[in-house]
């Protein structure tokens, strides 16, 4: 296990996109593209990176509008998973949503992503629905579980 005394959060910049893409490609079977991430920065979404001694080890993207927030992406490098870092980023993004006067945060998660579901449920999220055939999958499409948490 690594010693993470230098874990930090900072806003993502366009200069971070290559390093962010490395994590994205390591984590997701159907990753976002560099263009999508760049659009999120340009659009003004809350885009954050997690760093360990300046090295990007994860990222999160949050949209806040009209009293609602939507967690769009949360990824932690496989080398750093299982150490509470994703949970710290989730708490950080939830704090941002509260500061921006959102009263709820929504997210979608693959039913197959048991580790993420555990984090969300233990953080106060409840499953409120299912989006059929939401995610690309090797054999077509995978549903998304819709979770919500009152802030």
- Domains in the chain with CATH codes: 7-150 (3.40.630.30)
Q: Which residues are catalytic?
A: 108, 120
The count of C-alpha atoms lying within 13 angstroms of the C-alpha of 65, restricted to the half-sphere facing its C-beta, is: 5
pLDDT surpasses 70 at 119? yes
pTM of the model: 0.93
pLDDT of amino acid 32:
96
For the stretch 88-110, pLDDT in tens is 999 999 999 999 999 999 999 99
Give the CA angle between residues 51, 64, 113 to the nearest 5°: 60
20-52, pLDDT tens digit by residue?
999 999 999 899 999 999 999 999 999 999 999
Instruction: For 2-139, list the strands marked E by DSSP.
Output: 7-11, 46-52, 55-65, 68-76, 104-109, 126-137
pLDDT at 2 over 70: no
Token code pair at residue 106: 């929504």
Torsion angle, CA of 78/80/82/88, rounded to 10 degrees? -120
């Amino acid at each position: 296990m690594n010693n993470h005394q230098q874990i930090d959060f900072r806003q993502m910049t366009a200069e971070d996109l290559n390093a962010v893409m490395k994590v994205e490609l390591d984590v997701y079977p159907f990753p976002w593209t560099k263009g999508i991430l760049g659009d999120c920065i340009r659009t003004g979404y809350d885009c954050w990176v997690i760093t360990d001694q300046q090295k990007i080890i994860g990222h999160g993207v949050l949209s806040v509008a009209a009293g609602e927030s939507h967690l769009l992406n949360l990824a932690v490098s496989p080398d750093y998973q299982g150490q509470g870092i994703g949970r710290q980023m989730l708490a950080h993004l939830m704090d941002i949503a509260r500061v921006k006067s959102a009263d709820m945060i929504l997210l979608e998660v693959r039913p197959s992503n048991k580790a993420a579901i555990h984090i969300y449920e233990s953080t106060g999220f409840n499953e409120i629905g299912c989006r059929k055939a939401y995610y690309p999958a090797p054999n077509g499409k995978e549903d998304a579980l819709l979770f919500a948490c009152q802030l």
